[in-house]
Amino acid sequence: MALPASRRSVMTLYSRATCPYCHRVRMVLAEKRVSVDIINIDGASLPEDLLDLNPYNTLPTLTDRDLVLYNSQIIMEYLEDRYPHPPLMPVDPVSKARTRLFLYRIDHDWYSMLNDIAGGDEKAAGKARNALRDSLTVVAPTFKQKPFFMSDEISLADCSLAPLLWRLPSYGIELPVQAKPLMQYAERMFAREAFRASLSSAEREIR
């Protein structure tokens, strides 16, 4: 991740160059300007040291000294607590809870379709593409109200949504004109320095 190291860290992130879950962790790291050693995993096999660290053998996996974390949302919230500035979560409990609900909905309603889209069953993939396109189109008008996802400030929800939107062309999804507010939001996110820094070389080739 080509970003000036403004903070010293002994963190290591095991990441896959094309994985949206890994990408959203990389975006949080970039927004917070945390220096991190990124180990890119290619292919299906994982290195032995990662197999020893993570019993689920999943990516992303983050190590911070003696701490080992897996599950991208847990990692993102840990980074928020570990490096509170700049903040990516609201301070007050009500707004923080709402942001966590947004994160849940992004995962449950949208990320959950990616396995079918990337799977080998074309019928299931087509159904998932249509469902994802239609769901994003339905929520698109809400992006007229705020510069970020239901907020005046960038949050972990934006760091989760932007990697998904970046990948729409590779998923074979073209949003209709009714989704223009969402597409404008996406372009704002893609223009952020941290988003550009979070992209792997493989991800840059998507657009």
Cα distances (angstroms) measured from residue 97 to each of 90, 92, 117, 157, 166: 9, 9, 30, 12, 26
- In angstroms, the CA 118 to CA 132 distance is 13
CA pair distance 155, 119, nearest whole angstrom:
30
Beta-strand (E) ranges in 55-136?
61-64, 67-70
Residues 142, 147, 152: CA angle, nearest 5 degrees? 100
Residue from 28, 23, 59, 72 nearest 202 by CA: 23
> Is 19 labeled as catalytic in the residue annotation?
yes
Catalytic residue among 3, 19, 161, 194: 19
**Catalytic machinery residues:** 19
